[in-house]
Structure formats: structure tokens, C-alpha cells
Structure 1
Amino acid sequence: MTTVSTEPAVGSAAEPVAAYRPGASSLFASPRGTLLAEGTYFAVPPSGRRDALADLDRRVQAVLGVAEAAGHSVRTVVGAVPFAPDAHAQLVVPLHLRRGRPMGPGEPARPAMQSINRLHPVPAPDRYAAAVDRAVREIGDGRYTKVVLARSLRADAPGFDPAPVVRALAAREPGGYTFGVDLGGGRTLLGASPELLVSRHGRQVAAHPLAGSAARSADPAEDARRAAALLRSEKDRHEHAVVTRAVADALRPFCAQLTVPAEPTLVRTNTMWHLGTLVTGTVADPAVSALTLAAALHPTPAVCGTPTTAARTAIGELEPFDRGFYTGMVGWVDAAGDGEWAVTIRCAVADGGGLDLFAGAGIVAGSDPEAELAETSAKLGTMLAALGLSTEQADVS
């Protein structure tokens, strides 16, 4: 397969963001650039296997081969992969592809004010705290060592338009990964993830796992204190080390060289502080694509837990909803194997009646149910702020 692209040259960042239309296009904006996929030329077909990730790269390469054989100018697949291994991914070769430069810091984005009739949590806050308490007991019994438990917030908003929210997120979080992906059937996956699962550009690989979090404060002194406390926290540093080690172990078989810093650093978003470690390396085989690497990493302990199988089972027992695309991966890969995949967090799924927001927290031995509830409330703040709501107004805790 040729690696020569006939896709358009890079333009300004504003062009693809302004042109984004839910239902007709998908947007992915990262610190490296913006990408707008318009229409569908060819969709990646479902897998016949129980573990759909196992043959995902093969199916993507087959579709890219069809595009090349037909002389189609776009040689890139864009979309999202769900959390569950047997669920169908939403990945397409678009009819048209626009690329733009990265979003830069500019004027603060105005909230995308829309009429929301009601907000209701799933599960109720006290039931979420009870699930955390049960998970801590099961960890104590040796069933697993960590599980990530999520909750959802349903916003009833008939006629909801995701476009202004996606644009607001892109402006608010230019250092993150903003996305608006058409899921079909009038549904849109939207959000602004702070976490890079993996990227590959040429033979250079990068992953930026995040684990260990603290809510931001509007008071600068208190905000600095929280950041410093997070960096010192033994619990959070241990949780982060487990995730970083898992990411490095998954990447190492594919890499001729891999650099893993010994100490995490602080990563800042508008609503949260995170511990992060930037893992970098060089692929040994240039035929290994960004999607191959992403599939090898998914799901990391940061969104599932450890051991993976036991944590998945616990999630199925303790969460009263299907995660769908939440804690999956979102991004793109091209015919040369280059691409970027972000972890699908700080996100929502919109439909004609409103949207479902998601947030989770990593539960380990010693986790406090009320503290984990507060962490999920803070994480919901990313999407709530883009909607023009505060966590207090939403009454999420």
C-alpha cells in the first residue's frame, strides 16, 4: 500500500472547527493539529470475532486498501472505539478531509448556553458511594487490586446541538484532545480528553498516561497547595506508577527504544490536576501502526483497573449502565500508520433528547467513597462548564 497522501494541505485551526457539523462530520483537535472528516466514503465493517480489537487493524487496512484501489483522495480512518472488546467501533474513511493547525490560546470560550430541562445522576450519588465501598471491600478480599468506577449524568435537552459545545471545548482546552464524532442515528460523541493513549508519527511513538487527580481551585494559593499535595500523595503516585508501568510494558515489544521518566509531572486542565508521565520511543517495525499500538494498550488500568479481566467483571456488576464509547479511544490513523488516539474521557454522548455525561475514579485499597464521589463531580465539570453550568448548579454530589 502506498504511503503517499493526496489529502489537503494544513490550513488554519479555525477552519475545521468552524466547519464542524454534527451528523455530517467528525472533528478531532489535538496539540498537533485539527482534523475535520466530512461524510462517509467507506465504513470499517464489524468484526466476526468476540474480541473485535484483535482484528481491528486488519479491517482498517482493508478499508484503506479499498480507498486506494478506487483512487479516493483520503487515506485516513477517523472515529471512535468503544470500551467493551466485543462492541462495534465507529470508524470511517471520510469523503473529504480538512486539516488545520493546532488550536492556540485565545480569548476565553463562552459557554455554549442551551436549554437543559433537568439533570439526573445514574446512579444516585449515595448509590455510587455504596458501589465504591463494595469495591474497596472486594479489593481487600483480593478479588482485584484496582477498579475504575464511573457514573453518568443525564441532561434532558430536547433539540440539543453538540456543535457549539464542541467549539467551546476546543477553545477552552487547546492543550487537550477535543472531539465530536458522528455515531450515526442522530448520536454524537463529544468531549475534551486530557489523555493521549498513543500517537505515532514516522517511527516516533508517544503515550501520556494520567492517573491520580485533584480538583482545581479558583483561589491561586489553594490551587497551588492542591497541586503540590497531589504530587506528594503516596496513594496517587502508586496508582500512577501502576498505570505507567502497564503502558510501558505494552509498548515495549513494539519499540526499539523506549524512555520512561522515573517521576511523574503535573498536568493541568481547566478543572483538574493530574499526575502524568510522557512515555516516548521508536517503533522497531515501521509497519506497526498507531492503531496497532492503541489496541495493544486499550484499556489501560487508568480507565479499567487491574487485573483487567477481574476489573471488567467488577465494572459490569457495579455500574448500572453500558459505558458504550466512554473510556474507549478516539482519533485517527492513516495509510502510512501515523495517527493519534486519545482516551475517551471528559465526554458525553448526545442524542435528540439531550446528552449523557460520564466521569469515573480509580478505586484502590483505602479509597474513601465520599472523596471518589467528589472526584467524579470535579471531572464532570469539564463538560458542565462547556454547557454553561457549574457542578453546584448541577447538584452532582
Structure 2
Amino acid sequence: MTTVHETLATGQTEVDAVGTATALLDAYRPDTDRFLASPTRTLLARGVRAQVAHDERPLTERVREALTASRAAGEPDPVVVGAIPFDHTGPAALVVPAAVHRAPALCADPLIAFPPPRPEPIAWTVRPVPAPERYGAAVAAAVRRMRAGEFGKVVLARALDLTGDRSPDIPAMLQRLARRDARGYTFAVPTGTGGTLLGASPELLVSRRGTALVANPLAGSMPRSDDLAEDVRRAAALLESPKDLHEHAVVVDAMRAVLAPYCSELHVPERPTLVQTAAMWHLSSTITGTLALPSVSVLDLACAVHPTPAVCGAPTELARRVIGELEPFDRGLYTGIVGWGDADGDGEWVVTIRCAEVSDRGLRLFAGAGVVASSDPTAETAETAAKFRTFLDAVGADL
């Protein structure tokens, strides 16, 4: 078995030994590291070689400049790692790390089956932002406007502010998130403002390997049940739900329209399938394509489709304005994208959901729901509560 020290010392780019992926998880330190795990690989990025500049130029141009400069300085395979906010014109938390350690996927490492450490007892004070009844009123207001024909869909979010009697243990929370949903996308990256963005997203925005493109939009959700028969019933109901199928179709159609011009081939499933996390069922469509131009990078594609109707709404600009009117906070990195890209244009970018921003004494958790004209405010409030469950379990707190 390869130890964490051997893995980090060799700097190897890809290894297959049992324990190498969990070794990178164990080695994560929030003060120096960026951790990303997906169904295809595990990355631990350490230190900072270069910051991606924030100025008036397009983000893709600034990232390309940073990667090109790093390669010219002698780094043979530079990557950019970090997070981009919901408002992609805002400052991104992106760096070219000093070193990147790679391993296979966590879900392929048998040691991921070992249980995570139990949460240490912390006296949490939980404050909803806004209160659930105000969130329900915002959903009802959006539904009225949609029924009047103003727009087609909006995603409304709410937050929970958790304040503890001691600093949160970020590595322990990351362990619990990663081991709870090892087939998902787990991340821990600095926010750029002194905190850590920590989460376990089920949703791949887009990946690129060579000319092969994959996107996996999720829209339409149902909370899981601890009762097996009820859980199966909920999954079947989600597959036949007119409201959720409509919500999903809006997202898929929007992504098809944006991605098609970049592709010589694009394959979009006729109907969604199901993806499960520990807390939720989601309608899922796996879109695959072949890029017409190899020069189009994964970040070019991600910035073209972000934000999708799955996290914003339709039409996009009008939905943005509605979000600004009805949500009482700045989303920041929530519903942005988190991931990595290399100098050859390959990489993976994930939608930043099921996440929290962690500071010295507390956390801000986020959850949202897609609202369409047939939405019920009580059901959408319950859906956000179920989505909070992923992170509340990781910190040992309750609503």
C-alpha cells in the first residue's frame, strides 16, 4: 500500500495502488491546499505558483495567460484550480498551484468505505436567511409573475448561518462529505476572502478530454426516504412528474442551444434518467459531443453555458434580476463553478451546489430550488431543507 508520504513525495501524476486517493484526502490541509474529487480522478493542489488576475479582460483570456506563463517558466503540465462565482464578472478564486498530486477516483479506492470520523460536539446556533416563511412568500411571488407570463423559470436560494463555540474542523467535514457520496464531486478550495468553499456537488457542468465533451445537467429533484419502498416510489414519481420534467427540459434545451455551435456532433438523450445522492433523487441527462475545434478549452465551454437555467432560470438575464430582487443575500461562489483546467484545454468544472462557505467561527450553507409556474411554495421550501441535509450531517447540526 502506498502511504500518503510516498504519494506526495513522488509527485506522481496517476497511480492505481489501493489507498492513493484516500491518502490525498487524508493529506488535505485548508491553509495550503485545494482538494477536488470526481468520478474520474482525485486532485490535491498544494501551494500557489501564480494567481489568476482580476481585470476587465474575459476570464478565459486571463486563465490562458496564467497557464501559458507557467509553462514558459518551466512547469510542463500547469493547471488552474479553484472557483468562479455565480456572477462570473466578479473576482474568481483561481490559482496555478505550485504542485498537483493526482490519484484515481475516490470511489475506486476500497478504503473510502471506511466510516468517517464522527462530528465533534459543537454548540451550533442556526439562523435561516431568510426565514422559511419569507422564502415561501418569495416562491409564491415568483409563481404569480410566471403565471402572468413574465418569465419561464427562476431558481431561488436560501441560506443557513451556523455559528459555533469553536472553529469548524474543515478536514473532518471534508472527510464526511467525501465518504458520504464518493461518486459525486467533492471540493475544498479557498474563497479568496479568507474562508474555504467546501461541498459535495452532484452536478458536472462540463468536462473536456481531447475533443470529447461531457455535460450532465440536473434539474428536477425529490428528497430520498429512509424507507426503501417509499424511496422507490419517490424515484418513480420524479420520473413521471410533469413539473420536474418541464423544469429539466428547460435546462437541457438551453445547454443544447449553447453547446451545439461548438460541436461537430452532439448527443442529447430524449428523456432524463435518475441520479441519486445520499439525500436526493435528481433528474439527469448526460450530454456528449465532439468538439469541432480542438482549440476550444473546457473553460471556454464552462463560461459559455454558465449559469444554466438549473441554477439561474430562463430567460437568463431576467431570471438574474428576479434573483436580485427576491434573495436577501449575495450568492458569491454559490451556484458558480468549481474545478480545474490544464494548458491543453482539458478539465472538469462542476456546479457549486450542496456547499458552504466556512470561516473561523461558522458556516454559511446554501440550498436552492427551481421554481416554475406549477411550483408549490411549501414543497420548494421542503426541497431546500432536504438539500441542506448533506451539509448538516457533515457538521452534526440540525435545522
Normalising to structure 1: TM-score of the pair? 0.93
Corresponding residue SS for 2:122: coil
Does the 8 Å contact 2:85/2:91 carry over to 1? yes
Does 1:165 pair with 2:173?
A: yes
Does the 8 Å contact 1:111/1:385 carry over to 2? no
Spell out the pairing of 1:309-324 with structure 2 (5 A cutoff): 309-324=317-332
Corresponding residue SS for 1:184: coil
> What letter matches 2:49 in structure 1?
Y
Which of residues 250, 255, 258 is equivalent to 1:250? 258
Aligned to 2:73: 70
Corresponding residue SS for 2:113: coil
Instruction: Give deviations 1:4-60, integer Å, cap 9, x for gaps.
Output: xx97321321121111111211100000010011111101000215xxxxx111111
Q: Which deviates further from its counterpart, 275-284 or 177-186?
A: 177-186
Aligned to 1:10: 14
Separation in structure 1 between the aligned mates of residue 124 and residue 275 of structure 2, nearest angstrom: 34
> What letter matches 2:83 in structure 1?
A
Does 1:126 pair with 2:133?
A: yes
How far does residue 138 in structure 1 lie from its aligned partner after superposition?
1.2
* Pair 8,336 (structure 1): closer, same or farther in 2 beyond 3 Å: farther
Does 1:88 pair with 2:95?
A: no
Separation in structure 2 between the aligned mates of residue 7 and residue 286 of structure 1, nearest angstrom: 28
Separation in structure 2 between the aligned mates of residue 261 and residue 232 of structure 1, nearest angstrom: 16
Spell out the pairing of 1:41-190 with structure 2 (5 A cutoff): 41-48=49-56, 55-104=58-107, 106-157=113-164, 158-190=166-198
Aligned to 2:353: 345
> What letter matches 1:78 in structure 2?
V
> What letter matches 2:126 in structure 1?
L
Corresponding residue SS for 1:222: helix
Aligned to 1:216: 224
> What letter matches 2:190 in structure 1?
D
Separation in structure 2 between the aligned mates of residue 147 and residue 89 of structure 1, nearest angstrom: 24
* Pair 114,86 (structure 1): closer, same or farther in 2 beyond 3 Å: farther
Separation in structure 1 between the aligned mates of residue 80 and residue 49 of structure 2, nearest angstrom: 10
Separation in structure 2 between the aligned mates of residue 208 and residue 137 of structure 1, nearest angstrom: 30
> What letter matches 1:90 in structure 2?
A
Does the 8 Å contact 2:38/2:105 carry over to 1? yes
Normalising to structure 2: TM-score of the pair? 0.93
C-alpha RMSD of matched pairs (Å): 1.4
How far does residue 74 in structure 1 lie from its aligned partner after superposition?
4.7
> What letter matches 1:77 in structure 2?
V
Does 1:33 pair with 2:36?
A: no
Does the 8 Å contact 1:74/1:94 carry over to 2? no
Unmatched segments (≥5 aa) in structure 1: 1-5, 50-54
Aligned to 1:3: none
Does the 8 Å contact 1:139/1:364 carry over to 2? yes
Separation in structure 1 between the aligned mates of residue 342 and residue 277 of structure 2, nearest angstrom: 29
How far does residue 174 in structure 1 lie from its aligned partner after superposition?
1.1
> What letter matches 1:253 in structure 2?
P
Separation in structure 2 between the aligned mates of residue 15 and residue 377 of structure 1, nearest angstrom: 33
Count, aligned residues: 381
Aligned to 2:6: none
Does the 8 Å contact 1:212/1:240 carry over to 2? yes
Aligned to 1:52: none
Does the 8 Å contact 1:193/1:345 carry over to 2? yes
Separation in structure 1 between the aligned mates of residue 180 and residue 327 of structure 2, nearest angstrom: 30
Separation in structure 2 between the aligned mates of residue 24 and residue 89 of structure 1, nearest angstrom: 18
> What letter matches 2:13 in structure 1?
A
> What letter matches 1:242 in structure 2?
V
How far does residue 388 in structure 1 lie from its aligned partner after superposition?
2.4
How far does residue 366 in structure 1 lie from its aligned partner after superposition?
1.8
Instruction: Give deviations 1:177-212, integer Å, cap 9, x for gaps.
Output: 000001234300000000000000111110000000
Separation in structure 2 between the aligned mates of residue 207 and residue 100 of structure 1, nearest angstrom: 22
Which contiguous aligned blocks of 4+ residues in structure 1 show a shift greater than 2 angstroms? Answer: 107-114
Separation in structure 2 between the aligned mates of residue 355 and residue 307 of structure 1, nearest angstrom: 32
> What letter matches 1:75 in structure 2?
P
> What letter matches 1:65 in structure 2?
T
> What letter matches 2:37 in structure 1?
A
Which of residues 210, 213, 219 is equivalent to 1:205? 213
Separation in structure 2 between the aligned mates of residue 276 and residue 112 of structure 1, nearest angstrom: 31
> What letter matches 1:145 in structure 2?
G
> What letter matches 1:146 in structure 2?
K
Separation in structure 1 between the aligned mates of residue 22 and residue 182 of structure 2, nearest angstrom: 12
Corresponding residue SS for 1:31: coil
Does the 8 Å contact 2:117/2:172 carry over to 1? no
* Pair 63,114 (structure 1): closer, same or farther in 2 beyond 3 Å: farther
Does the 8 Å contact 2:88/2:336 carry over to 1? no
